[in-house]
Amino acid sequence: MTRESFSRIERIDRLIRIKGTGTASELAEKLGISRRSVYNLLNEMKEKGAPIKFDQFRGSYYYDEEGYFKVSFYFKRIENYENKKLINY
C-alpha cells in the first residue's frame, strides 16, 4: 500500500465517522480520485475488518459498529555487523 493510499484511507475514515462521505461519486470528487478507486479503497478497508455500510437516506457511508480504522506500519531497523559491513562496501 502506498503512502498516498494510507492518507486516503485516513481521510475516508474521518469522513465515515462523521457520516460525511456522500455517495461514492461525491467521495471520489472530495479525494480527487475515480469512483472505481473509492470502491477499491472501501473494499480494502472492509477486507481488513471495517464494518462499512451505506445509508441510502443520508447518502453516506458509516461504520455499523463504533470505532475507527487505524492505518499503521511497523519499521524495524536491523543493526548488526553483517549489515553494516555490506553498507560500507
Higher pLDDT, 88 or 63: 63
pLDDT at 36: 98
Provide the β-strand partners of residue 53. 62
Q: Between helices 24-31 and 35-47, what is the axis angle to 10°?
A: 100
Domain that holds residue 33: 1-89
pLDDT digits (tens, 9 = 90+) for 2-58: 788 888 999 999 999 999 999 999 999 999 999 999 999 999 999 988 999 999 999
Work out how many domains the chain is built from and give that number.
1
Provide the β-strand partners of residue 62. 53
What is the CATH number for 33?
Answer: 1.10.10.10
In angstroms, rounded to a whole number, what is the distance separating the alpha carbons of residues 74 and 41?
21
pLDDT at 81: 54
